[in-house]
Chains A and B, each alone.
Chain A
Amino acid sequence: MKSLAEVFAESLMIDAASVVDSLAYQSIKEWDSVAHMVLVTALEDNFDIMLDADDIVAMSSVAKVRAILAKYDITA
């Protein structure tokens, strides 16, 4: 299983070092709505979960994604 930073980096095609908790949706050009859905799919595949629409809307930052994964008993 990949780390959360690895999933982010591969999905958004950014450097893993830039995946910090404060990184926010649409704060960089690489994290647009299209990349957001790529990220959703990658998170689901990597962590073997299915996110619902409320989760997807709430994924507004790396920290928020981490909190959402915690709902599924995933520490990332």
Chain B
Amino acid sequence: MASDLSGRVALVTGGTRGIGRAIVLALAGAGATVFVGGRSAEAVEAMIAGSAVADRLHPLPFDVADPAAVKAAFMALQKQAGRLDILVNSAGVLKDAVIEMTSTGLMAETLATNLTGTLTCCQYAVRLMGRAGGGSIINLTSIIGRVGYPGHTAYGAAKAGVIGLTISLAREVGGRGIRVNAVAPGTIETDMTAGIPDDKRAALVERIALGRTGQPEDVAPLVLFLAGDGARYISGQVIGVDGAMAM
């Protein structure tokens, strides 16, 4: 079922690259007005300038790990658009480290961006969506948050936290017409995974039933569906987009 998002207002954090960028383009392609979040104002502007749907995109640079910046961003969005219908929490950081070398700083950064940032954005989104009578929140988690992976203790903890956040929030705000779901990608070709050595990449592909790594455009259609009315009875779910990957 194709989603028609004409008249809807969306915010995508981490919208300048990879999966977030593909989601921005998919939502705008379906008619939504999309606010593009990202830490770098230059990167946000460049992403919009290079897009074929630039007329539906608005820059909203902010760091999800900075609570004051999140607050300012949502206030700016409210002033500009007057409403929020769709939030996609796609901002994330991934740094490999075995448990003994997971520094306090790495833990803090990983949790602040991937988990606390998602939670803070959800807080403000719920308030704006509640005013409009409902909305859809889609949180990007990861296959690592569901089944784990060596060297990703902090990342796995954060992404598992996003799953817990999603299912609890879905139960809390369903009565206000707000749906909350999580999407759990497997190995997707983005800047975040570009550093995987060839031998490890080949080993990963062997674990994927569909025989290839994913592309950001493989993830975006699910987010588009969850954002739209076709998913009106779907909430509190965690849906994998991993090509049937066994970790």
Q: Which residues of chain A (40-73) have a CB below 8 Å from chain B?
A: 40-41, 49-50, 52-53
Q: Cβ of B67 < 8 Å from any Cβ of A?
A: yes
Inter-chain contacts of A37 with B (CB < 8 A): 127, 130
Distance in angstroms from B186 CB to nearest chain A CB is: 34
Partner of B131, one of A41, A50, A52, A53: A41
Inter-chain contacts of B78 with A (CB < 8 A): 50
Q: Which residue of B lies closest to A49 (CB)?
A: B75
The total of chain B residues at the interface (CB under 8 A) is 10
Alpha-carbon gap, A52 to B124, bound state (A) = 8
Q: Cβ of B71 < 8 Å from any Cβ of A?
A: yes
Alpha-carbon gap, A40 to B124, bound state (A) = 12
What is the 8 Å Cβ interface bit string for chain B, positions 110-132, against chain A (1 contact, 0 not)? 00000000000001100100110
Alpha-carbon gap, A47 to B130, bound state (A) = 19
Q: Which residue of B lies closest to A48 (CB)?
A: B79
Residues of B within 8 A of A (CB): 67, 71, 74-75, 78, 123-124, 127, 130-131
Inter-chain contacts of B130 with A (CB < 8 A): 37
**Are A50 and B123 within 8 A (Cβ)?**
no
With A41-B127, A52-B71 known, 12 other A-B pairs at CB within 8 A are: A37-B127, A37-B130, A40-B127, A41-B131, A49-B75, A50-B71, A50-B74, A50-B75, A50-B78, A50-B124, A52-B67, A53-B123
Inter-chain contacts of A49 with B (CB < 8 A): 75
Q: Which residue of A lies closest to B73 (CB)?
A: A50
Distance in angstroms from B150 CB to nearest chain A CB is: 36
Distance in angstroms from A26 CB to nearest chain B CB is: 20
Q: Which residue of A lies closest to B120 (CB)?
A: A53
- In order of increasing CB-CB distance, the 5 nearest A-B pairs are A50-B75, A52-B71, A50-B71, A53-B123, A50-B74
From A40, A49, A50, A53, residue with most partner B Cβ within 10 Å: A50
Inter-chain contacts of A52 with B (CB < 8 A): 67, 71
Inter-chain contacts of A41 with B (CB < 8 A): 127, 131
Alpha-carbon gap, A40 to B75, bound state (A) = 14
Inter-chain contacts of B71 with A (CB < 8 A): 50, 52
Distance in angstroms from A70 CB to nearest chain B CB is: 17
Q: Which residue of A lies closest to B76 (CB)?
A: A50
Alpha-carbon gap, A50 to B78, bound state (A) = 9
